[in-house]
Amino acid sequence: RLSLQPEVGSIRLAHDFVRRFATQFGWDQAAIGRLELVTEEALLYFMSSQDAAATQKKKIHLSVRYEGEVVELEIIAGPQEANMEDLVRSLKKGGGPVEDDLSLHLLRELALDLKHQQFHDIDCLLLRVDSRPLHPFEENPDVVPAST
């Protein structure tokens, strides 16, 4: 688990965190790059929402689990003084899915699965990322897709 400030400098820390995690399970560079991209886009989403509603400083909590062939990222943004377990309990009690942001649409394309919940001052993304190539032609670099 990693706690971050919602600032651009935190992206590098998050990249290092997920890279070390994925390397333990033998993911190749392309898959690790994709995991880093998903993590970065999620953090940028939280940073942009922090800028839009800067009434209260938030902290971002990132946790990573390996389930089968899939990495599950749970990223929760909440008030800095809030307890992480309390944030998760609040989300389980209520909070509906939200998806009206460009970053969330990008994440839906990059990740295997995306769940997004908001409840009061809490925002949560649950992302599942697998190690498959992002595009089919990445499996065979000698094949170049025909342009239409």
Per-residue pLDDT 10s for the chain (148 aa) are: 899 988 899 999 999 999 999 999 999 999 999 999 999 999 998 888 765 555 567 899 999 999 888 999 999 998 866 565 665 565 555 544 444 567 777 787 788 889 988 877 788 999 999 987 665 555 555 544 555 4
* pTM reported for the whole predicted model: 0.74
Check the CA dihedral 110-138-31-33 and report its sign: negative
Report whether 124 contacts 90 (CB < 8 A).
no
Check the CA dihedral 135-68-29-21 and report its sign: positive
